Amino acid sequence: MADIGGGRRARGSGGGARAGRAVVSGAGIAGLATALRLHHAGWEVLVVERAPARRSGGYMINLVGPGHAAAERLGLLPALAPRDLGLFTTVMVRADGRPKFTVPAALAQAALGDRALTVFRGDLESALYRAVREHAAIRFGTTVRAVEQDADRVRVALDDGTSEQADLLVGADGLHSGVRRTVFGPERDFRVDLRHAVAAFPLPRVPADVPEGAGTVFIGPGRTASVVNLGPGRSSAFFAYRCADPDAELDRGPVGALGTAFGDLGGGAAGALELLAGAPEDAYFDSVSQTAMDRWSRGRVVLLGDAAWCVSLFAGHGATLALSGADRLGDALDEHGGDVPAALAAWEARLRPEVRGRQASARKGMTRFAPPTRAHVRANDLVMRAIGLPGVSALFQRSVQRSIRRSTERAAR
């Protein structure tokens, strides 16, 4: 079988000579990408994952700019290309499901160019898992229980009763990171609640009100509902809404909470909620939060992905930052040889400005997903309608291309 993870080898790695040993906590995108990149650099890697088995599904993610470049360098594109969902026409709808106006897919295609992929989160995780599984040990149903370290090693006690010694511990275990809690402090010290909730889930059948090759989007004061019809096994729904007490919403579960927040809608949103009621276990449902930390590393322990910098779904760059962050961590370790703390400091200094910008963009972008008033909804509609005008369309495309180019250049430095 071809090694789809056969990306570049690290400079000075000798084609696979062991550069060090790492324990990676978390088998999501950030953790598996880190394990793959460290393997390319010649490291021995153990991945531990709290869940008893791999998870699949999830929401759509876009890989453009540094995310697409990192996927290419990690050797993932051959596996991802057949799973590319492509771009689709967006139909803005009223609360009852009637169309308001349409944004053609060609506009986004022209702006993003050919170096862009849209895939389900589960497809990216599957590609990473297949690339990693023959090169790293992976233990499911296992978490980090305690951590001790000195200048030379980090000792990791796991809840299966075993203990591991390594040169590096990577906490890539998400917003509710156990490594962060153990080494840096409780979640409340770092989590910034944005007072919104989001849900995303696959659709086994597509509601009849959504045209094939299109997505319907309702945006009203404080909420968004989107349903995408790309055919069997390629369709999904996304809901986001502002709420005063996100934890109370999570306690109600996705069926009850979304039914209350969106139960008055018609069209594709209503059909998606009916399908959700039959399979609530397939839904991703969580509060919208960011992680804010002064430092992402301590000695030989580093946080990566949502554990360190969660930008939130409103930023739209979580997977890109996870892939790019993992890839650039490997670069920093290559450059600094055995000096792990120096490598971590250099890596963070390069990456932090981009993360800070994405977090700020997400906070501003909340008004797109949950506009405060009907006046904001009308203003958003005017902007989206204007993008279709010939002169404005060209400006929009150049602006997007310039942003992608700058992000890619920053990641390459």
Look at 9-13, 121-125, 244-248, 374-378 and tell me which has the smallest mean pLDDT.
Answer: 9-13
pLDDT of 115 over the 80 cut: no
Q: What's the whole-number mean pLDDT along residues 377-393?
A: 71
What residues contact 180, with CB distance under 8 A and at least 6 apart? 171, 173, 187, 190, 291, 303, 307, 308
Q: What's the whole-number mean pLDDT along residues 341-348?
A: 96
Which residue has tokens 């993932």?
76
Q: What's the whole-number mean pLDDT along residues 233-247?
A: 92
Integer Cα distance of 192 and 397 in angstroms:
33
What are the tens digits of pLDDT across the range 310-338? Answer: 988 776 678 999 999 999 999 999 999 87
End-to-end CA distance of the chain: 34
Amino acid 363: pLDDT = 82
Amino acid 62: pLDDT = 84
pLDDT of 110 over the 80 cut: no
Which residue has tokens 């995780």?
125
Amino acid 47: pLDDT = 98
What are the tens digits of pLDDT across the range 51-83? Answer: 998 876 667 888 888 888 999 999 999 999 999
Phi, psi of 353, deg, nearest 5:
-60, -40
Q: Locate the domains of the chain by residue range.
A: 21-85+116-191+290-366
Quickly state the pLDDT bin for 17 (edges 50, 70, 90): very low
What are the tens digits of pLDDT across the range 182-213? Answer: 999 999 999 999 999 999 998 988 888 999 88
Kindly report the average pLDDT of the chain as a whole number.
87
Output 134 or 338, whichever has higher pLDDT.
Answer: 134
| CA-based nearest residue to 195, from 369, 12, 380 | 369
CATH code assigned to 21-85+116-191+290-366: 3.50.50.60
Integer Cα distance of 300 and 63 in angstroms:
30
Amino acid 2: pLDDT = 33
Angle between helices 66-73 and 390-412 (to 10 degrees): 50
Relative to beta strand 89-93, strand 214-220 is: parallel
Residues paired with residue 199 on neighbouring β-strands, in sequence order: 239, 285
Integer Cα distance of 105 and 232 in angstroms:
20
Sign of the C-alpha dihedral computed for residues 45, 49, 54 and 59 taken in this order:
negative
CB-count burial class (<10 Å; 0-12, 13-18, 19+) for 108? buried
What residues contact 195, with CB distance under 8 A and at least 6 apart? 242, 243, 244, 246, 288
